[in-house]
Amino acid sequence: MAKNLTILGATGTIGVNTLDVVARNPEKFRVIALTGQNQIDKLAQQCRQFQPRYAVVLEPDKANALQTLLAGTATEVLAGMEALEFVCALPEVDTVMAAIVGAAGLRPALAAARAGKRVLLANKETLVMAGRFFMEAVREHGAILLPIDSEHNAIFQSLPANYDGDPARHGVRRILLTASGGPFRTRAVETLEAVTPEEAVAHPNWVMGKKISVDSASMMNKGLEVIEAHWLFNARPEQIEVVIHPQSIVHSMVEYLDGSVLAQLSNPDMRTPIAHSLAYPERVEAGVNWLDLAKLGTLTFEAPDFARFPCLKLAYQALATGGAATAILNAANEVAVAAFLDRHIPYLGIAASLENVLGRLTGLPAGSLEDLMAADAAARREAQMWVDRESRVARR
């Protein structure tokens, strides 16, 4: 029987790769709803090709534009956050690909979990912001959570099939999270001040959205992934070790008490984890190039340098602090990365602003989802104030 899909963030990198896998397996998957934000022409083209029942955007004027483009088709256009939540909870939908970028992805992902869907989670910010509440919703409503992030998908595949979130019971000693090291792994540290947005988004191995590309350059992405792994697999921070692996072939590993290390390998192509989760527990064609190990020759590994990548250290610290700290880290990072991409602050300003915001906002309550939303908003305000101050100083 075909699986019925809602794809949140269909116009993004993950969304497009998801539709590519769907198109290769038309008998296995049917698209019920697609969502986008600014790329209305692209969303309209996707709707023509995949004929979903619903297309959703956040803003009403974008919805009107989309409506015009889709006139005469069977796709109904909806607008707003409630509409995003609605298409995640539709009775005919069994699988939701959560691939919106940033904190905006939290509410729809939560709606999918609360509706007991199979949630294919690309939006790592959901777990970084509200890991405890999201995992509770998954458990309470019998949702099935499958990680799309390539590292977490690799860990999922390297854990026992009956893994129940208890590392000790399954003999799991450590999770080894691989990182490419991004474009600045070997660049002279004293030249990092002069990094441009173009250099930061030019990832050596992966083609990704701008925000996650900058996060990969700063290794904040790996920091967010440490937090993500903590919630997904119930591993303690000290059980999660980051190892730099510049070739991005080994996507992560699980080390067991007997010394065994299990890994998942593939070419760096997001269609592999996407196809894995779409079809799980089956396997489907994903269109990826087969791995030619002899041609690759050498796979290398090295320890990360916290001085070069202060954002990684800040993420470990926020995880150790707990409470609202990771939500604060995530929100401040979104503001700082946007400011860097707009050339308002230098690259090194990202880590500096995070340190500042984390230092100022300590001990905020984290007892409810509303608390975390409030912490997110406070962190955005603080980070924006820092950015405004810095860009004023820079202009002088």
The residues that touch ligand NDP, with contacts defined as CB under 6 A, are 9-15, 36-39, 58, 99-101, 104-105, 122-125, 149, 206, 208-209, 212, 270
Task: Select 150 or 326, whichever has its Cβ closest to Mg ion.
Answer: 150
Q: How far is the CB of 212 from ligand NDP (least distance, A)?
A: 4
Q: How many CB atoms lie under 10 A from the CB of residue 187?
A: 15
Task: Select 88 or 100, whichever has its Cβ closest to ligand NDP.
Answer: 100
Task: Select 246 or 346, whichever has its Cβ closest to Mg ion.
Answer: 246
d(CA 118, CA 93): 9
Task: Select 46 or 356, whichever has its Cβ closest to ligand NDP.
Answer: 46
Which of ligand NDP, Mg ion, none has residue 267 at its interface (CB below 5 to 8 Å by kind)? none
Q: How far is the CB of 227 from ligand NDP (least distance, A)?
A: 12
Task: Select 167 or 336, whichever has its Cβ closest to ligand NDP.
Answer: 336
Which of ligand NDP, Mg ion, none has residue 36 at its interface (CB below 5 to 8 Å by kind)? ligand NDP
Region label for 171, one of left (φ > 0), alpha (ψ between -120 and 50) or beta (otherwise): left
DSSP state of 178: E
Residues that bind Mg ion in the complex, under the rule CB under 5 A: 149-151
Q: How far is the CB of 194 from ligand NDP (least distance, A)?
A: 25
Task: Select 75 or 157, whichever has its Cβ closest to Mg ion.
Answer: 157
d(CA 144, CA 146): 7
Shortest-Cβ-distance residue relative to ligand NDP: 12
Q: How far is the CB of 81 from Mg ion (least distance, A)?
A: 26
Q: How far is the CB of 177 from ligand NDP (least distance, A)?
A: 13
The answer to whether residues 121 and 147 touch, using CB atoms and an 8 Å cutoff, is yes
d(CA 40, CA 57): 9
Q: How far is the CB of 315 from ligand NDP (least distance, A)?
A: 14
Identify which of 308, 299, 297, 300 has the alpha carbon closest to the alpha carbon of residue 186: 308
Which of ligand NDP, Mg ion, none has residue 101 at its interface (CB below 5 to 8 Å by kind)? ligand NDP
Task: Select 58 or 265, whichever has its Cβ closest to ligand NDP.
Answer: 58
Which of ligand NDP, Mg ion, none has residue 246 at its interface (CB below 5 to 8 Å by kind)? none
How many residues are recorded in the chain?
396
Residue 120 pairs in a beta bridge with 97, 146
Which of Mg ion, ligand NDP, none has residue 11 at its interface (CB below 5 to 8 Å by kind)? ligand NDP
Torsion of CA 372, 373, 379, 384, to 10 degrees: 170
Shortest-Cβ-distance residue relative to Mg ion: 149
Q: How far is the CB of 193 from ligand NDP (least distance, A)?
A: 26
Residue whose structure tokens are 């993500």: 228
* Alpha helices (H) along the chain: 13-24, 40-50, 60-69, 81-89, 106-114, 125-140, 150-158, 197-201, 210-218, 220-233, 271-279, 293-296, 310-321, 325-341, 348-360, 369-395
First-last CA distance in the chain = 64
